[in-house]
Structure 1
């Protein structure tokens, strides 16, 4: 289970909604950090031992794709998983983002069901419980 999650979106409403979705999906005990752009998210990622970054694709200062590239090229952020959210439906862009290292691309609006579908795939193997 992810302990520290960074939510990066230029919309405060979207960040609040993602936080609520994470709580509903069972991440109510996780530390949730917020960033209003990619630069702030990168700074938070470098300053905290985050497990997951949920980022919007289109943001000012640094967009989600640039943020993804920076995260994946930083030795300090090797273990940080990245989930991208986008209001655009573009299979070619989704494939490009996955090739760059995004583990999933979710279309907005993000819902608890969408998160619950994708978050088990992102869990680290040692955290998976077999029933």
Structure 2
């Protein structure tokens, strides 16, 4: 029960934070001093990576909400449920890793770990759902 609930809660929190980050990106593009340079560099480098973090943050937030809802609804093994939940939560390191790269020059290890974790979580969940006995 805690596994699915934590995914939903973290997913909505992450979604709200990355939505706020999206508003900040809009501010930089439309209202900030030097917006012309921001617009000129919009498709390359840190600007592109910033938008990539925004998009993946929202996507991974929604994926966590979906994973949480499935985990709460389906009768899966407790071990699989805990692992899938944990992997999906660790997956949120990917957009945070992209931001850490842009802001602090951190190596892309968090991007890789988060991306692999999310792929494993969703692959494992799809296998478990396929194996599950579904009753109306």
Please confirm whether the aligned pair reaches a TM-score higher than 0.5, indicating the same fold: no
Decide which structure has greater helix share.
2
In our comparison, the structure showing a higher alpha carbon Rg is: 2
Higher relative strand content: 1
Higher RCO (CA-CA < 8 Å; seq separation 6+): 2
TM-score normalized with structure 2 length: 0.27
